[in-house]
Amino acid sequence: MTTATTVLDILQLSDPHLFADPAARLKGVQTSETFRRALQHALAALDPDIVLLTGDLSQDCSAETYARIRQLLEPLRVPVFCIPGNHDDPQLMARELRHGHFHYCENLRHENWLLCMLDTWDGLRGGGRVGEAQLAELDAKLESSDAEHVLVCLHHHPVPVGSAWLDAVGLDDGDELLTVIRRHPRVCGLLWGHIHQRYDHHADGLRMMGTPSTCYQFVRGRDDFALDSLGPGYRRIQLRSDGRIDTHVTQLKP
């Protein structure tokens, strides 16, 4: 029988691709509506300690979109942690989502866990980079922190997900990131967005998790671009005091 307790219950929402205009559509999907449905569904089922937004919050890079996200999530009165995706404008996003309950690219230390937020934005080109400075900062943080367990969160996937077109726009320095992480066995997992599909693997003691978008999904394992018929999704992540990560992806009807 385990005596491990839940340290943090996280609701991850990823890649909402919202517009300033709530009626706007992307690839035929009204993204404000699918985001609303995913959020409503999650909150009916869960009582998260924090909400984590893993990038591509805005499709139109407008301040109005980020302000609307703030208005939508502020009433929850739980901390919201945000990191940018390739479709975001990091400056505008930081300006709008860095006050009150909102935390932009800010690490979270809670009980015996540390959550490290990485900024992998590298222009609107699709792919991303952690970069040498941030890798050194992460390495130093993992070295100095007295947290027993660590979860690293980012937008781009650091490992190939088996889809040629997506793997061409992943993390340029994924190998370098994994080299740093493997120096620190306290890192239990990596969590990302970007791939608009679920991904759950274990590798070398690391839990690797990719999460569906709250709008449309990409077909898994396909080498050319194709949209899946799956509906909006979200992920619950429960961090346990013994370092275990329990997680579940929920996917709604289209």
Footprint on this chain of Fe ion (rule: CB under 5 A): 15, 56
Measured from the CB atom, is 20 or 169 closer to Fe ion? 169
CB of 31 to Fe ion, least distance (A): 10
Cβ-based nearer residue to Fe ion, 124 or 203: 124
| Of 56 and 173, CB closest to Fe ion | 56
Quickly count helices (H) and strands (E) in the chain.
6, 14
Residue 23, token pair as written in the block: 């009626």
Residues 6+ apart with CB under 8 A from 141: 107, 114, 116
Q: Which is nearer to Fe ion, 104 or 113 (CB)?
A: 104
- Quick one: 20 or 26, whose CB is closer to Fe ion? 26
In DSSP terms, 248 is beta-bridged to 236
Least distance in angstroms from the C-beta of 17 to Fe ion: 6
Q: Compute, in degrees rounded to 10, the torsion defined by CA atoms 57, 102, 186, 46.
A: -80
What single DSSP character describes residue 21?
S
Least CB distance from residue 175 to Fe ion, whole Å?
23
Q: Residue ranges of the alpha helices (H) in 47-101?
A: 63-73, 90-96
For the record, the structure tokens of 181 come out as 């992480």
By CB neighbour count within 10 A (0-12 exposed, 13-18 middle, 19+ buried), where does 243 fall? middle
In angstroms, give the least distance from the CB of 115 to Fe ion: 21
